Amino acid sequence: MSSIKEQLTNYARLLLQEGVNLQKGQTLVINVDVENYTFAELVTKEAYKLQAANVIINWRHTPISKERLLHAPESTLKEVDPWVPAYYKTYIDKKAAFLSLISADPKALQGVDSKRVTLQSSAINTAIPFYHKAIMESAVTWCIAAVASLTWANLLGYTGSDEEKLNSLWQTIFTLCRIDHTEPGQDMSSHLKRLEKRTRALNAVHFIELHYTDAKGSDLHIKLPKNHVWEGGTEANKEGILFNANIPSEEVFTAPDRLGVNGIIHSSKPLIYQGNRIDNFTITFKDGKVVDYQAKEGRDFLTSLFDIDEGSSYLGEVALVDHYSPISQSGHIFYETLFDENASCHLAFGAAYPTCLAESDGLSKEELEARGLNQSMSHVDFMVGSESLSITGLTDDGAKIAIMKDGHLLF
């Protein structure tokens, strides 16, 4: 086993090479919490070793953001200063690589009125639609990955000194990112290529509908749009540069037909939405739309999610994850979608990825919607996978093919 310093360096390289696949002369934009400045410094060093043109850091500190959400006059929450869209436009135009380093802090915005959070996030989303479009269409390379934080380490119940707790969490991150598995076939790069192979097998079948059932009573039919594409693992941006949008990743996913979802589905893990916890919830769909929802905890936050826009109460993603993936096997609930979604089959409310439809290049929002791809300012994953989930696929010649049986993926 290598020292933590070597592991951190290997991890930084993984994010730059397999994650955003930083090219010589390319600019790198890193979104990161102030708390993680030492890791940001390490990534910056490694990026310049790879001959980055420039490394731009977009510092975050949620307690400061929270002060604005709590105390700024409501009218100002709708305001976005002109430099914000200019900032994003600068780096989209430069075809920069975007690396977001995140850690879980589900209570970060506790006590803030969720309407004020929505007001602010809607204003920002409205100001930078071109940025979201570039990300969703993979016009630029981007990657979301985890960094250890003390809040997160405490949440997962690690003990010892602060340094020991942080190191324990880093070791978990390294395990899930297969950092110490350098032998051929066992490393992250080989794993991500295997996922890509799984997508090819699913794409070869041309399913028209998926049927979900589980021990809690889920019974959901999801139609898939004509010409849908399964994606997962390594993908290519518009210039053909290979990258991985999530590290780690265990999922393969496609877009549902936005009007073709019917039945009931039960959540299998808590959903942390804008710093709030929603748990044990049940969603009923009719012709694609959420028509009823119940939650043992946090139902109001589901309400505010569905209030964002029309598309936020329709589905935009269907993702398959083996229940026996390393993240699932770790037994943790990570309180962070990047990890939890990779432990479990999931669905997402909100926008679909245009890349999940063949020949979608250059189609307008209206055209994408007409072909079944949901449109929304939001995209929120929620987990439905468990050891009892089974999924059967229906093909256009009426054949039924088992895709998942009791949590085991058969593809």
Site of interaction with Zn ion (CB under 5 A): 251, 253, 317, 319, 348, 381
Query: Kind of pairing, strands 400-405 and 408-409?
Result: antiparallel
Query: Which of 69, 305 has the CB closer to Zn ion?
Result: 305
Distance in Å, CB of 247 to Zn ion, minimum: 13
Q: Give the torsion sign (CA, 249, 252, 255, 260).
A: negative
CA angle 208–314–292, rounded 5-degree value? 110
Distance in Å, CB of 299 to Zn ion, minimum: 22
Query: Which of 342, 390 has the CB closer to Zn ion?
Result: 342
Distance in Å, CB of 333 to Zn ion, minimum: 17
Query: Which of 112, 229 has the CB closer to Zn ion?
Result: 229
Query: Which of 36, 267 has the CB closer to Zn ion?
Result: 267
Residue 100 is encoded by which pair of tokens?
């977001």
Query: Kind of pairing, strands 207-213 and 219-223?
Result: antiparallel
Please write down the HEC assignment for all residues of 203-267: HHHCEEEEEEECCCCCEEEEECCCCECCECCCEECCCCCEECCEECCCCEEECCCCCCEEEEEEC
Side-chain half-sphere CA neighbours of 61 within 13 A: 6
Distance in Å, CB of 86 to Zn ion, minimum: 28
Task: Measure CA 266 to chain center.
Answer: 20
Query: Which of 179, 338 has the CB closer to Zn ion?
Result: 338
Query: Which of 12, 348 has the CB closer to Zn ion?
Result: 348
Neighbours of 21 (CB within 10 A): 19
Neighbours of 380 (CB within 10 A): 22
Distance in Å, CB of 141 to Zn ion, minimum: 18
Query: Which of 385, 407 has the CB closer to Zn ion?
Result: 385
**Cα(228)–Cα(26) distance, rounded to whole angstroms?**
32
Query: Which of 69, 140 has the CB closer to Zn ion?
Result: 140
Distance in Å, CB of 411 to Zn ion, minimum: 16
Distance in Å, CB of 377 to Zn ion, minimum: 14
Distance in Å, CB of 158 to Zn ion, minimum: 27
Distance in Å, CB of 273 to Zn ion, minimum: 13
**Cα(158)–Cα(146) distance, rounded to whole angstroms?**
17
* CB 271 within 8 Å of CB 304: no
Residue 260 is encoded by which pair of tokens?
């073709």
Contacts for 13-17 with beta carbons within 8 Å, 24 or more apart?
13/46, 14/177, 14/179, 14/188, 14/247, 15/43, 15/99, 15/143, 15/145, 15/247, 16/43, 16/46, 16/47, 16/50, 16/99, 17/50
Query: Which of 288, 385 has the CB closer to Zn ion?
Result: 385
